[in-house]
Amino acid sequence: MQKLCSLVSDFILPPLCHNCKRLVQAHNTLCFHCWQKLEFVGYDPYLPETIFSVAYFSGLAREMVHKLKFEDDVKLALCMAKLMALRVPKHPDSVLIPVPMHINKLRERGYNQAGLLASMIGKLNKMPCEIGVLSKKRDTKNQSSLNYNERKKNILGAFAIDKMYAATIINSHVIIVDDVCTTKATINECSKILIKAGAKSVSAVVFAVTRP
């Protein structure tokens, strides 16, 4: 019913910029004015070649990440996913896997923003998305309040492969999906166990990345 109401409102109401509410040509997009506020990532020799990001984690990009993650602005996910879908590397046998949340935080928030983004990117790019492959077996501290070494220690051993889905990643190119990458600690830890479980290679696509 909620999805139907959303479709009806999209049909009746004019499309507005998700950030400033200016008129735009399509729903779930940004206007040119807000588009210019994003610091898009081009070629950056200081970023790992396996991490693909839309923008640097500053200004409007930071605001968008925080609204999706902490202000329940789930409609923003599609706006972000449309931009992220353009950054997804093209590989045969690719599968999208979101960074998981611990069940306690999932119950508290009600959704996993990385899961939303991965599902939407999968639909936009017609790619398989496996939500259940990775699980978070230990509830960790919030990474944002920790430095690099603390983040590495905090996240160490926090993730696991669900044996029910393990076969889906063997010899596959896994693309980890998350909203933001700051120190790469989370992505590195997920990559480590995915490779150990049989993935051919691992890369990541995020909406925003901290400038090196």
Sign of CA dihedral 63, 137, 103, 190: positive
CATH 3.40.1000 fits 45-209, yes or no: no
- At 147-198, the pLDDT tens digits run 778 888 888 899 999 988 888 899 999 999 999 999 899 999 999 999 999 9
> What is the Cα–Cα distance from 23 to 17, expressed in whole angstroms?
6
Rounded distance, CA 18 to CA 29, Å?
6
Per-residue pLDDT of the chain (212 residues), as tens digits, is 444 344 345 546 788 998 888 998 888 889 999 999 999 999 899 999 999 999 999 999 999 999 999 999 998 999 999 999 999 998 889 999 999 999 999 999 999 999 999 999 999 999 999 998 999 998 887 777 777 788 888 888 999 999 888 888 999 999 999 999 998 999 999 999 999 999 999 999 999 999 98
Domain locations along the chain: 1-37, 45-209
CB-based contact 73:79 (threshold 8 Å)? no
Among 97, 114, 88, 132, residue whose Cα is nearest residue 179? 114
CA pair distance 44, 54, nearest whole angstrom: 12
Which two structure tokens, joined as six digits, stand for 128? 């398989």
- Nearest CA to 30 out of 22, 159, 98 is that of 22
Q: What is the pTM of this model?
A: 0.90
